[in-house]
Amino acid sequence: MRITLINPPNVEFTGTFRPPINIAGLAAYVRQFGHTPNIIDFEATISKHSEIDAEKMATEIMANNPHVVGFSTITPRYPLIIHTARFCKKINKDVIVILGGTHVSGEPNNVFHDLSIDYAIVGESEDPLVDLLNALEQKKDVRNIENLAYRGDDGQVIVNPKRTFIKDVNSLPFPAWDLLPLEKYRDPVMFHKNYMGINTARGCAWDCNFCASNVVWERKVRMRSAENVVEELRQLVENYNINEFFFYDDTYTTHKARVFEICELIIKNKLDIRYFVNLRADTMTEDLTIALKESGLILGYLGVESGDQRILDQTGKGESKEEIRKACAIMRKQKLPFTCSFIIGHPGDTHESIQATIDFAKELDSDQVKFLIATPFPGTELYRLAKKLGKIEDIDPMKFDDYTCYQHVAVNLSKVSDEDLLLYQRKAYEEYDLQKRRIIPELSHPAGGKNKKEIEHKKDSRAYHFTGATNDS
């Protein structure tokens, strides 16, 4: 069957986007079974909010007359996906529309908000997608396909039992890079030229209350072998002339012995690469940092989350401020650039704890920084808490475009007002930037390059008019 897989545009417009190797992996997988995949990455081709047009997107999607259209679904993009699916059905009422992704896994019963959606796949998608395509092609019953959600004869949503995870992730084909607009994947802040994403493992061993990773992977970490990872890197270097990478793993350094092995193989194979990974503070040691840097690591990303130990403890992250300080000190000693990410608006966050977070960010003095607004994404512990507190009772799914961590408060679980949360976010960036006395931190280039966008600092003109109100409702 002809299936077109869609990566919707970045409605959040955070300034960066990632190659969608999730759907590229699915494309490679279904192609093994005789199906004909196509990929449209609107995130790579639509760069301005004014360019988003669901009807035009649908026209492009339906241009090659697919039998099936599959959307990769994250929460803030759900409303746009619905609008686009409606237009696809107008062009061809018989086209089958499928949803997958973290939003589906978190809220499988609510993704059938609109009749334009035919099926949804919950959790790991490779085998259920192949089973569904085979059944549709052969006109067989789909109701016993594990991981599938659909409407029953009475219109009620049925979510089938989950199947076991794929045990050998080395058996999965490399993504269908030939179906991606490779030249589009550029990030001048991070890389010198076009880059590619790679997953060396699936899942995360930890259980942070704000993270949607475990919604799909259930805290079960499955790692590819070092040899398999390096072979993928080698093929991209030799066949596509790509030597810059973003490792998407939730925590790349979970199994340090494997990381050392990957580093050794990169050097042994003389792969001249540059890459960026997500790290965890309590896994960082000096010898690991040296190995990562020698193999091409240009920047490590640490999720710090809070500068208040009480708040940090309740996230479920399982780290202390001292462990974070130690990791940052190690990376600074080895001259490895690093980013620290913080969340403002945790459950129970107060004016004092948020200020402690800003102070901790300045103390750590990372090369780059992010301050995000806490957002309860479907399936997370924050989402369950928000529902328990009546904060998101009977939410309109078509308003999920508000669920972004940037410049917006979707649901406030903290002890301060919405207005003050946004002021603290602005204050955090501006105070950090003043400390750096240079270009905006998130626009600095870890390899020494520069982005032209700069900010004028007028210290005497800054005033933060906090309401001082509490959020006790």
> Which residues does residue 223 pair with via DSSP β-bridges, in sequence order?
201
Is the pLDDT reported for residue 217 higher than 90? no
pLDDT in the model for residue 373: 94
Identify the band that residue 74 occupies on the pLDDT scale cut at 50, 70 and 90.
Answer: confident
Q: What share of the chain is helix, strand, coil (3-state, %, to 5)?
A: 40, 15, 45
CA neighbor of 116 nearest in space, from 65, 162, 58: 58
Asked whether the predicted pLDDT for residue 187 surpasses 90, the reply is no
Q: Is the dihedral of CA 417, 422, 427, 429 positive or negative?
A: positive
How far apart CA 330 and CA 328 sit, in angstroms, is 5
pLDDT at 328 over 60: yes
pLDDT of residue 283: 95
Whether the pLDDT of residue 251 is over 50: the answer is yes
> pLDDT tier at 398 (50, 70, 90 boundaries)?
confident
**Mean pLDDT comparison of 345-354, 397-406, 442-451, highest-scoring range:** 345-354
Q: Beta strand 148-151 with 157-159: parallel, antiparallel or unpaired?
A: antiparallel
Percent of the chain exceeding pLDDT 90 equals 73
Q: Are 277 and 247 in contact (CB under 8 A)?
A: yes
3-12, 120-129, 144-153: least confident range = 3-12
Orientation of helix 226-240 relative to helix 256-268, angle to 10°:
40
Above 50 in pLDDT, residue 245?
A: yes
Say yes or no to pLDDT of 441 above 80.
no
On average, the pLDDT of the chain sits at 89
**For helices 54-61 and 78-91, angle between their N-to-C axes, nearest 10 degrees:** 60
The residues, ordered by sequence, that sit 6+ positions from 260 with a Cβ below 8 Å of its Cβ are: 288, 291
The DSSP code for 15 is S
Q: DSSP states of 80-91 as a string?
A: HHHHHHHHHHHH
Residue 443 scores a pLDDT above 50? no
Cα separation of 264 and 229, whole Å? 12
Span 213-242, average pLDDT: 93
Determine the average pLDDT of the residues in 4-29: 86
Pick the range with the lowest mean pLDDT from 65-69, 210-214, 301-305. 210-214
Least confident of 287-301, 339-353, 423-437: 423-437
Confidence of residue 352 (pLDDT cuts 50, 70, 90): very high
Residue 403 to residue 420: CA distance in whole angstroms? 18
pLDDT the model gives residue 464: 54
> Residue 437: pLDDT band by 50, 70, 90 thresholds?
low
Binning pLDDT at 50, 70 and 90, where does residue 285 land?
A: very high
pLDDT of residue 467: 60
Percent of residues, the chain, with pLDDT higher than 70: 90
Average pLDDT over residues 290-301: 96
pLDDT, tens only, 78-111? 999 999 999 999 999 999 999 999 889 988 888 9
Token pair, residue 154, equals: 């009475």
